[in-house]
Chains A and B, each alone.
Chain A
Amino acid sequence: EVVMTQSPATLSVSPGDTATLSCRASQSVNRKLAWYQQKPGQAPRLLIYDASARATGVPARFSGSGSGTEFTLTINSLRSEDFAVYFCQQYSVWPPWTFGHGTKVEI
């Protein structure tokens, strides 16, 4: 099973800042990595797939990078609606499809 490790667990930032979230895989997943945003009481929302491709309707301030075992989600010019929990997920080695434990982006 590929273990996904996210850091930090919590990121405290201010509106207008840039947030940098990290995700590490226990083995190479090539670029088969997705990022999701989840707000309280809501389902996760796909932001990024294939490590850097933005899903439909996702603002350009969200960007993903990385390959192999190290990945980054960058959120530029943070807006109030961006404060949420972010999960990474690998789909290179399955089953199981595995998620990180999440990074909470808070004010």
Chain B
Amino acid sequence: QVQLGESGGGLVKPGGSLRLSCTVSGFTLSDSYMSWIRQAPGKGLEWVSHISLNGRVTYYADSVKGRFIISKDTARNSLDLQMSSLRAEDTAVYFCARHTFGPDAFDIWGHGTLVTVSS
């Protein structure tokens, strides 16, 4: 069964760091374009970061550029998001999602992991 499962969320102080992981099952990470998408409490969806099939091409939203790093660990079949210099406005549920055929719509989503940035 095709599934995604995020982990690593929690409470962190402003300026702190956190690493999110997304474990993949039922398909091969290296065959898929992947993204992280977040949703602040009571708000809409915001795309955060994207990584290509081989992991060599990455994109970031302006709001996180220079602070977040996306990566694929094909050995662990895991998608990671290293977040640093966290701000209150980064507070959100973070979803990992698989793009459908190319870098397009998102057909498979994880359940999400909550990141709270607060002192």
A residues lining the B interface (CB < 8 Å): 32, 34, 36, 42-46, 49-50, 55, 87, 89, 91, 94-102
Contacts and interface: CB of A to CB of B under 8 A. Distances in A.
B107 A55 contact: yes
Contact of B105 (A43, A49, A96, A101): A49
Interface string B101-118: 001111101111000000
Nearest to A55: B107
Contacts of A100: 44
B100 A95 contact: no
Nearest to A33: B105
Interface of A is mostly: loop
Contacts, number: 60
Given A43-B95, A87-B44, A102-B44, A95 B50 contact: yes
B100 A49 contact: yes
Nearest to B48: A96
A28 to B, nearest CB: 16
B47 A95 contact: yes
B47 A46 contact: no
Contacts of B73: none
B45 interface: yes
Contacts of B100: 46, 49
Contacts of A36: 45, 106
B107 A43 contact: no
Contacts of A95: 47, 50, 59-61
A101 B105 CA distance: 16
A101 B43 CA distance: 8
A3 B102 CA distance: 21
